Amino acid sequence: MPILTGPFGRVAAAMVTPFDEAGELDIEGARRLAVRLVDEGGCDALVLSGTTGESPTTSDEEKSALVRAVVAEVGDRARIVAGVGSSDTRRTVALARDAEACGADGLLVVTPYYSRPTQEAVVHHLRTVADATGLPMMLYDIPGRTGTALTTATLLRLAAHPRIRGVKDCAYDLLKSSRVMAETGLAYYAGCDEFALPLRAIGGAGCVSTVANVAAPLVRGVLDAYDAGDRASAARRHRALAPLTEAVMTGQPGTVAVKALLNARGLPAGPVRGPLLDADAGLTARLLELLACAEARAEAEARTADGAAVPAPEPAVGAGAAAMPGGIP
């Protein structure tokens, strides 16, 4: 059964932006993390300077330097998508053109935030950005952060633009997603980790995953099992990853959680920038326990697939934000 890959890959990590101890951009760390995510984690795309990449607190110059470094390091074997969205159309166009000049393969453009433009204004903004470069563009629909959703009608209009090719879907609206996928050629990517499998099951192209920063093989394993036709294994893998996903994505921004895990394992990450605050020791310990448990369950599932029944460990009571049901039997 062939694996269908969308214009922005299938398993994309929403990569953190590593900083050094002084809070400055760690270019060497970004290179090392990109190599790990692609060569060891199996990601076929990296999304830079998104929400997880702390785009609100990185300068335009830092965004450009990050794209150049990651393209040079892994651009021959992964698609590099640059987050260029802002609430200013002129600045977004400038960032898009710069990302293209730096070698990005695609653009992630969020709906303008704070000013709450009308849908007509949103269409004008996004078409203007799409017209500014020759790169394919992924719309970022995340109304919980921007205050402005992309309506179904707006998405149907935007789909007519030849360079608007996909949607990073964080709208929590499967009815909208289903209709747009049915009526357009837009490639849909789950931007919320818990929706990676459900969206793939109704025709989604893949995911843009925060959890992949620390568990890329596990994130990919869910989609690999589904695409191989093993729906039961995909469901078990999805449920096994759910407690970690919940702990990473609730209670604090995902960036805070995955940077804590990367730092604890000696991998490039560094501190978060204000107004975010770094995770404390207690949160980090709980996250590490859940990550280890998810990894053990994935290993147990792999052995089960090979014909050897192996019991999977359970997370300790109170290890996560609120342990979710399910998991590998």
pLDDT of residue 6: 85
Predicted pLDDT of residue 130: 98
Which residue reads 């690999």 in tokens?
A: 224
pLDDT tens across the length of the chain (329 residues): 445 578 999 999 999 999 999 999 999 999 999 999 999 999 999 999 999 999 999 999 999 999 999 999 999 999 999 999 999 999 999 999 999 999 999 999 999 999 999 999 999 999 999 999 999 999 999 999 999 999 999 999 999 999 999 999 999 999 999 999 999 999 999 999 999 999 999 999 999 999 999 999 999 999 999 999 999 999 999 999 999 999 999 999 999 999 999 999 999 999 999 999 999 999 999 999 999 999 999 999 988 876 644 444 455 434 444 332 233 22
- Residues designated as active site: 140, 168
Note whether residue 196 is domain-resident: yes
Burial of 29 (0-12, 13-18, 19+ CB in 10 A): buried
CA distance 327 to 329: 6
Alpha carbons 33 and 41: distance in angstroms, whole number: 10
**Is 11 labelled as part of a ligand binding site?**
no
Supply the CATH number for residue 88's domain: 3.20.20.70
In a domain, 157, yes or no: yes
Exposed e or buried b for every residue in 269-281, given b needs 16+ CB within 10 A? bbbbeeebeebee
Instruction: Give the C-alpha separation, 265 to 72, whole Å.
Output: 25
CB atoms within 10 A of CB 175: 8
Question: Is 93 inside any structural domain?
Answer: yes
- Domain tally for the chain? 1
- At 193, is the secondary structure helix, strand, or coil? helix
Residue 250 lies in a domain: no
52 is in an annotated binding site: yes
- CB burial of residue 153 (10 Å; 0-12, 13-18, 19+): exposed
Expressed as residue numbers, the domain containing 172 is 11-228
Give strand pairing partners of 239.
none
pTM: 0.92
Q: Which amino acid is at 108?
A: L
DSSP per-residue letters across 256-321 = HHHHHHHHHTT-S--PPPTTS----HHHHHHHHHHHHHHHHHHHHHHHHHTT---PPP-PPTTSSS
